[in-house]
Amino acid sequence: MRLAMFAAIALGLLLACDGPNGKVDPVSVQWMDWPAEVNAGQPFRTRLVVWGVCAINPRFRPGAHADQSAVTFAPYYLVDNDQIFCANLREVTLLQVGAIDTSGTAPGLAASASRTYEMRAGAEVVFARAEESIPVRHFGNVIVRPTGADPSQRNGGGTVFLLVDSVGCLRLSPLGLYNPNSALVLEDQADTTGLNYAFVRGYIHEAAAPVCGQTRVFHLVSRN
């Protein structure tokens, strides 16, 4: 699926609302996590870590849509066409650079019996222009139940780097997000091979025993 299609839709909306001086900047998803189970027809919040853009007053849109098999996020910013030079701009507080920790709402999903949908998003570690496509990756799955979904566990995935704190505890942080409070404690502290800049999948849950003083931990399922 090409992200350019979503950018074209967003551009049409932008021209209708903001006039011809705006444009669409698609961005990749570095990380997302979401409830492992949801009830049918119930929209659900999904954490998204995406690249920021070098622009004044960018307006973020998560670009979520669903079909019969998957939820796909194709996030983008609505930005003005005004030219700025980021290297020389002193008003850095007006810009969104690096990665940002935000969210999007996935639409309610149909299920007459319990079933699984994929969670997908455009995922690269570089910025993209509106005319380019961003490859769509499978971040994990969500189980949709007619009723009685268990909200205690969250599935998650994305491109990460490994953090080691002053006492040797290992955490995973979304690439580009340099906030230690946003990092997740790795449940298996010995399983670290190849985790720097890897694309991982797993789930966040309450561990039976604390790990590095935390019970809310990330259980690694796969990396590549």
Give the domain extent around 19: 3-150
Please tell me the distance from the alpha carbon of residue 203 to that of residue 31, in angstroms, as a whole number: 12
> Is the CB of residue 67 less than 8 Å from the CB of residue 120?
no
Same-domain pairing of 130 and 160: no
Same-domain pairing of 100 and 159: no
Please tell me the distance from the alpha carbon of residue 108 to that of residue 144, in angstroms, as a whole number: 9
> Is the CB of residue 184 less than 8 Å from the CB of residue 218?
yes
Same-domain pairing of 99 and 62: yes
Answer with the one of 135, 150, 165 that is the final residue of a domain: 150
Angle at the Cα of 203 (from 214 to 62), degrees rounded to 5? 110
CATH number at residue 78: 2.60.40
Same-domain pairing of 46 and 82: yes
Secondary structure (3-state) at 166: coil
Question: pTM above 0.85?
Answer: no
Same-domain pairing of 177 and 198: yes
Tens-digit pLDDT string for the chain (224 aa) = 444 444 444 444 444 444 455 688 899 999 999 999 999 999 999 999 998 888 778 899 999 999 999 999 999 999 887 656 555 443 444 444 589 999 999 999 999 999 999 999 998 744 445 445 788 999 999 999 999 999 899 999 999 999 998 889 999 999 999 887 889 999 999 999 999 999 999 999 999 999 999 999 999 999 99
